[in-house]
Structure 1
Amino acid sequence: MSRSPRFYGYLYFLIASIFVYFAIQQNNRTEGWDIFTIILMAVAAIDYMIAFRYFALAGKKDNDKKE
């Protein structure tokens, strides 16, 4: 069963938000930016980028259906 791009957009957005939460917790625990915090933020940024691409794809599919 194929899911819509919007579903995957929300999924990646949720995963990215979880990574941001963990990065904030790690930053508070170590009281500074360490390599693990930076890696968590980088993964979150990549996941947000993927989510926004899926949202754009969903919008494009909606526009194609209207035409």
Structure 2
Amino acid sequence: MTRSPRFFGFLYFFIATVFVYFAIQQNNRTEGWDFFTILLMSVAAIDYMIGFRYFSLASKQKKK
């Protein structure tokens, strides 16, 4: 059973949003930008990038 690229796009966007939420909580707890906060934001940025790529792939498949 294969899933559509749009499903994975939404999945990665959800995961990235969770990482952003955790990064905000970490920033409020430590009152500054520490290594762990930057790491969480980096992972969220990568997840958003992957989500955009899946949405791009879905639109390319739709055009075919």
Name segments (4+ residues, structure 1) moved above 3 Å.
none
* Structure 2: unaligned runs, 5 residues or longer: none
Partners of 1:24 and 1:59 in 2: CA distance: 32
The alignment status of 1:41 with 2:29, answered yes or no, reads no
Calculate percent identity across the aligned residue pairs: 75
The alignment status of 1:21 with 2:21, answered yes or no, reads yes
* Structure 1: unaligned runs, 5 residues or longer: none
For normalisation by structure 1, the TM-score amounts to 0.95
Partners of 2:59 and 2:17 in 1: CA distance: 22
- Once the two structures are superposed, residues 4-54 of structure 1 have per-residue CA deviations (whole angstroms, 9 ceiling, x without a partner) of 000000000000000000000000000000000000000000000000000
